[in-house]
Amino acid sequence: MDKFETLTGIAAPMPLVNIDTDMIIPKQFLKTIKRSGLGANLFDEMRFDRQGNEIADFVLNQDAYRNAEILVAGDNFGCGSSREHAPWAIKDFGIRCVISTSFADIFYNNCFKNGILPIALPQEAVDVLMKDAEKGANARMTVDLENQTVTTSDGESFSFEVDAFKKHCLLEGLDDIGLTMEKAGSIDTFEAQAAQARPWV
Amino acid sequence: MSPKTLYDKIWDAHVAHEAEDGTCLLYIDRHLVHEVTSPQAFEGLRMANRPVRAPDKTIAVPDHNVPTTPGREDPKNMTEDSAIQVAALDKNAKDFGIHYYPVSDVRQGIVHIVGPEQGWTLPGMTVVCGDSHTATHGAFGALAHGIGTSEVEHVLATQTLIQKKSKNMKVEITGKLRPGVTAKDITLSVIGETGTAGGTGYVIEYCGEAIRDLSMEGRMTVCNMAIEGGARAGLIAPDEKTFEYVKGRPHAPKGAQFEAAMEWWKTLYSDDDAHWDKVITIKGEDIAPVVTWGTSPEDVLPITANVPSADDFEGGKVGAAQRSLDYMGLTPGTPLSDIEIDTVFIGSCTNGRIEDLRAAAEILKGKKIKDGLRAMVVPGSGLVRLQAEEEGLADIFKEAGFEWRLAGCSMCLAMNPDQLAEGERCVSTSNRNFEGRQGYKGRTHLVSPGMAAAAAITGKLTDVREMM
């Protein structure tokens, strides 16, 4: 997995609440057996018309935001389906960090498996960051995972919470399965005990 | 011993390893797999040369992509990309030696209907699947939730998940439901009350007389939509109805093993003085037959209400409501029961079980659907379909003018050819009314099976109580 340490980049504002994973990557793009290439269809039905032409007022179609690396979004981002195609598409587009007041549980976890940092902050902080994002390409936001801060282009800084284990994995780019395999002994022991206690499972 | 919730008890029984910071390896008893969210996970195993750790606890069935029309066993009758995903699942099931119900098997169906039907889902288990509606299995008092594809690979390789414990939320539905009010109305009403993020960070236990009174099918409907309220999982404590449902299922324990299992299952309830981080109480008698008007499952109103205006909301929801109204093509103030529809879809892991089909058939018996309406029933599994045929329900649907389809996810998420056209308005027994969910620019109103049947007859959103 790619490491995430610090990121300074353009932030795109998407103030809409309840942006669901069907919006992030519509179902017709789930018929792939690969993880790659989904960035072209990120937010497909908001971004393109049926003929494949760009919808001009969609934020990622505006020149200032074509190279956005951060997304500042409304509450409950990533709700709905468990599809990991959503973070795959976000990452493939080039976005490495999403900021909102809250995230849906499965999406939140999926981000960490893909080198994306989701940051949950109080409404007042997200409001400030949204305003900063609205300034366009000249305003660059900075995210520092080690120090757990987001800083606006004006230098206003907000601290965020992140689970220590998830932070560690993201900073080091660690592979979960490899880490768990190191605890195979514990799993073996548990499995043997469970087979005694609940043989019907 | 300190008092525990049902969630605490199941959690504690499955912790294989706990780190100092509380990060746990949670052991997984059942891993359900379908064709859309698994190919990349199996590919990952191959690349790392890893086997599936517990193939006996891994069950696969294609459901999302499969057509619901005859001849679908032939890949030529699927779109090329769907056929590739189904073929990949065929191959992965064979190569890794996991349990498998192919399209040609009468037991094939939606993974969350097949699991309980075959007795894979049992009380007290941990159940995961690369699908958010895994919450369904919580109806058995199993801790069940959706996971992403990386986690699918993690479970395949290690039979565990890296997890931190969620908080406990109790949702109590007291007293009796009024006539015409169903499990679907309960679960939608709860989301209407808490919002789609209200459950974030929690595992919900549903309890109270109205929940106890529900059949297992109804309980599955309630738990199915726990995810729509943002919760990691929904749970209902097992009772005699649960044990009765489980008993005799192909993969349920038999004889002395069943008795031993029962002994443990009977301890699976929340202790009286257990700690709850959040409690919601709703009176059963206050719940009406409901319908969604917008593009979020929290956009719930009684069928007797009018379309709201964006001004009725606050904060970020104002813009979202206006966007929903525009998308849905609705004018504020219009009575919901005046809204004309084009299509009715009965099916999905929310409402594709036998009891759902019975409820719809009860309303449709001897009646015809409105002229020009498109209506289809997609049973949740091949076995539900067979049973409905044996009970004469299929004939009622067909005589009323419904299409009688083969099992699958179908128009719930429209990954197969069952899709809405642009602007087509559908009354659906499924679980999500998101933009584009049932087809590009399609419009979805979520309802119970009885409400769907009533709407099919009148061609409008309809109060099922008028048909009873």
Any idea what the CATH number is for the domain that residue B250 is in? Answer: 3.40.1060.10
Q: Which of B100, B130, B163 is the last residue of a domain?
A: B163
**Any CB–CB contact under 8 A between A8 and chain B?**
no
Q: Is B68 helix (H, G, I), strand (E, B) or coil?
A: coil
Overall pTM surpassing 0.90 (yes/no): yes
**For residue A87, which residues of chain B lie inside 8 Å, CB to CB?**
148
pLDDT reported for residue B1: 78
Tell me, yes or no, whether B303 and B229 share the same domain: no
Tell me, yes or no, whether B34 and B104 share the same domain: yes
Instruction: Give B411 to chain A, closest Cα distance, Å.
Output: 12
pLDDT reported for residue B316: 92
- Are the Cβ atoms of A31 and B36 closer than 8 angstroms? yes
> Does the residue B380 lie in any domain?
yes
The number of distinct structural domains making up chain B is: 3
- Are the Cβ atoms of B81 and A76 closer than 8 angstroms? no
**Any CB–CB contact under 8 A between A138 and chain B?**
no
- Are the Cβ atoms of B27 and A82 closer than 8 angstroms? no
pLDDT reported for residue B301: 98
pLDDT reported for residue A1: 85
- Are the Cβ atoms of A102 and B200 closer than 8 angstroms? yes
Q: Which of B163, B194, B214 is the last residue of a domain?
A: B163
Any idea what the CATH number is for the domain that residue B23 is in? Answer: 3.30.499.10
Tell me, yes or no, whether B281 and B379 share the same domain: no
> Does the residue B2 lie in any domain?
no
Tell me, yes or no, whether B303 and B281 share the same domain: no
**For residue A104, which residues of chain B lie inside 8 Å, CB to CB?**
197, 200, 230
**For residue A126, which residues of chain B lie inside 8 Å, CB to CB?**
none
Tell me, yes or no, whether B221 and B149 share the same domain: no
Tell me, yes or no, whether B190 and B152 share the same domain: no
Angstrom distance (rounded) from CA B315 to CA A18 = 13
Tell me, yes or no, whether B142 and B14 share the same domain: yes
Q: Which of B195, B208, B207, B271 is nearest to B235 (CA)?
A: B207
Are B401 and B377 a contacting pair, CB within 8 Å? no
Tell me, yes or no, whether B238 and B346 share the same domain: no
Tell me, yes or no, whether B230 and B263 share the same domain: yes
Angstrom distance (rounded) from CA A90 to CA B184 = 33
pLDDT reported for residue A175: 87
Whether ipTM > 0.90 holds is yes
pLDDT reported for residue A138: 87
The domain spans of chain A are 6-174
Q: What is the mean pLDDT of each run of 10 residues along chain A (201 residues)?
A: 95 98 96 95 97 97 98 97 98 98 98 97 98 94 98 98 97 94 97 97 96
Q: What is the mean pLDDT of each run of 10 residues along chain B (468 residues)?
A: 95 97 97 98 97 98 97 94 97 98 98 98 98 98 98 98 97 98 98 96 98 98 98 98 98 97 98 98 98 98 98 95 98 98 98 98 98 98 98 98 98 96 98 97 98 98 97
**For residue B27, which residues of chain A lie inside 8 Å, CB to CB?**
187, 190-191, 194
- Are the Cβ atoms of A84 and B48 closer than 8 angstroms? no
Class of domain A6-174: alpha beta
Give me the numbers of helices (H) and strands (E) for chain A, helices first please: 8, 7
Domain assignment of residue B258, given as a range? 167-286
Q: Which of B270, B286, B302 is the last residue of a domain?
A: B286
**Any CB–CB contact under 8 A between A2 and chain B?**
no
Angstrom distance (rounded) from CA B342 to CA B71 = 27
pLDDT reported for residue B244: 98
> Does the residue B69 lie in any domain?
yes
Tell me, yes or no, whether B96 and B196 share the same domain: no
Biggest CA pair distance of chain B? 65
Residue of B nearest to A184 (CA): B158
Tell me, yes or no, whether B154 and B259 share the same domain: no
* Interface test mutation site (partner A, options B35, B43, B200, B203, max chain A beta carbons within 10 A): B200
> Does the residue B1 lie in any domain?
no
Tell me, yes or no, whether B17 and B139 share the same domain: yes
